């Protein structure tokens, strides 16, 4: 996962800070000290004193989204949604108000493949900041904002970059899990895209004896059964925790309560014998399958896409 680190003067001291999301969902600020150096990270927080966390695999864009003169956060999460977290108080590190999901029309924005990576830019040069989002399937989507009376509304997405491949056979093809920066790379007045992606390449398959082939087939069948059972147990525990905390099965957990929910869920996992047995069996099978399977070669590349016309 990429967490979209951004440079922004979050504390208003004239020095660029580094703001980054994280896999657990916390958002960190590395305060700029000048000369390309940064202080130890500080977790950002809501105005009520709780840690800022709206979902896992948080990827952050920083900008004045609501036009009130200060810097807000737009945070993409693993589910594919993007949250708007407004700055509502002067305290730069814990002055953020409750998050709300970005909507297109009356529906929550959700990118294909999840793993949303937002970026802010006036892409069409009309003086209004637009939203661009990298997606888990490798695509990049543009959501233009237009003024309707006093409101700024997001338009349906325009696909700037199609879906990528998990294992591109053509080196010109991009991968997945797109994270982007928007800038005029070549100085022609048009906004271009720098896109980071992730892909894999299968290594050479090991030569297996007949006995090893049969063993691998048996292990794969066992893994499939265990994965199905593990998924059922995870869903059951999630329903149990939601019920205990007073949330419906499909109800969105408020950002200020997400950390407490995650803690309760992890506690439920740890205390459930069936879950832990299946988890241990799954890890053992993975260890046994490793020497019988091709090794995956991992790639993380950055590609430049210039805007034409």
CA distance 50 to 231: 31
CA atoms lying within 13 Å on the CB side of residue 177: 20
* Among 79, 80, 85, CA closest to 63: 85
* 152 vs 73: CA distance, rounded Å: 17
Model confidence at 268: pLDDT above 70: yes
pLDDT score for 155: 95
- The predicted structure's pLDDT at residue 118: 97
d(CA 277, CA 139): 38
Where do we find the tokens 């939203």? 131
Strand order in the sheet with 59-63: 59-63, 72-76, 82-85, 100-101
pLDDT mean over 2-14: 86
Mean pLDDT lowest for which of 131-135, 153-157, 198-202, 282-286? 198-202
**CA gap 5, 58 in Å, rounded:** 10
Residue 232 has a pLDDT of 95
Q: Lowest mean pLDDT: which of 36-45, 171-180, 234-243, 249-258? A: 249-258
Residue 257 confidence class, pLDDT cut points 50, 70, 90:
confident
4: left (phi over 0), alpha (psi -120 to 50) or beta: left
Provide the Cα torsion 206, 208, 212, 214; round to 10°.
110
Instruction: Decide: residue 272, CB within 10 A, 0-12 exposed, 13-18 middle, 19+ buried.
Output: middle
**Tokens matching residue 272:** 């459930």
Cα–Cα dist 169/101, whole Å: 36
Q: Quote the pLDDT of residue 2.
A: 63
Confidence of residue 296 (pLDDT cuts 50, 70, 90): confident
Q: Quote the pTM value.
A: 0.75
Both structure tokens of 52? 């800022």
Beta carbons of 58 and 259 less than 8 angstroms apart = no
Cβ atoms of 256 and 48 within 8 Å: the answer is yes
**Segments making up each domain of the chain, as ranges:** 5-168, 210-292
Cα dihedral 146→99→114→118 (10° resolution): 50
Of all residues in the chain, the percent with pLDDT exceeding 70 is 99
Cα 228 to the chain's mean position, in Å?
25
Q: Residue 221: which pLDDT band, with cuts at 50, 70 and 90? A: very high
pLDDT at 1: 57
| Structure confidence by residue, pLDDT tens digits, 39-98 | 999 999 999 989 999 999 999 999 999 998 999 999 999 999 999 999 998 888 889 999
């Amino acid at each position: 996962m990429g967490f979209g680190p951004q440079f922004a003067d979050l504390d208003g001291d004239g020095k660029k800070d580094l703001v980054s999301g994280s896999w657990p969902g916390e958002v960190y600020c590395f305060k700029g000290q000048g000369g390309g150096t940064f202080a130890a990270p500080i977790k950002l927080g809501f105005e009520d004193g709780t840690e800022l966390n709206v979902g896992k695999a948080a990827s952050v864009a920083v900008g004045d989204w609501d036009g009130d003169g200060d810097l807000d956060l737009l945070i993409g999460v693993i589910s594919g949604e993007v949250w708007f977290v407004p700055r509502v108080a002067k305290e730069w590190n814990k002055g953020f108000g409750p998050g709300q999901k970005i909507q297109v029309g009356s529906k929550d924005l959700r990118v294909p493949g999840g793993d949303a990576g937002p970026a802010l830019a006036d892409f069409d040069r009309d003086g209004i900041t637009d939203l661009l989002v990298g997606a888990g399937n490798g695509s990049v989507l543009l959501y233009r904002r237009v003024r309707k009376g006093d409101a700024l509304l997001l338009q349906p997405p325009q696909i700037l970059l199609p879906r990528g491949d998990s294992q591109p056979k053509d080196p010109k093809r991009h991968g997945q899990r797109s994270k982007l920066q928007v800038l005029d790379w070549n100085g022609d007045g048009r906004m271009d895209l720098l896109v980071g992606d992730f892909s894999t390449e299968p290594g050479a398959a090991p030569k297996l004896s007949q006995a090893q082939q049969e063993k691998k087939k048996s292990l794969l069948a066992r893994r499939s059964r265990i994965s199905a059972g593990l998924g059922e147990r995870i869903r059951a525990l999630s329903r149990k925790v939601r019920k205990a905390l007073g949330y419906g099965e499909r109800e969105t957990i408020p950002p200020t309560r997400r950390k407490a929910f995650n803690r309760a869920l992890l506690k439920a996992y740890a205390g459930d014998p069936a879950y832990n047995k299946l988890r241990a069996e799954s890890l053992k099978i993975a260890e046994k399958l490793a020497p019988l399977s091709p090794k995956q070669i991992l790639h993380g590349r950055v590609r430049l896409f210039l805007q034409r016309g």
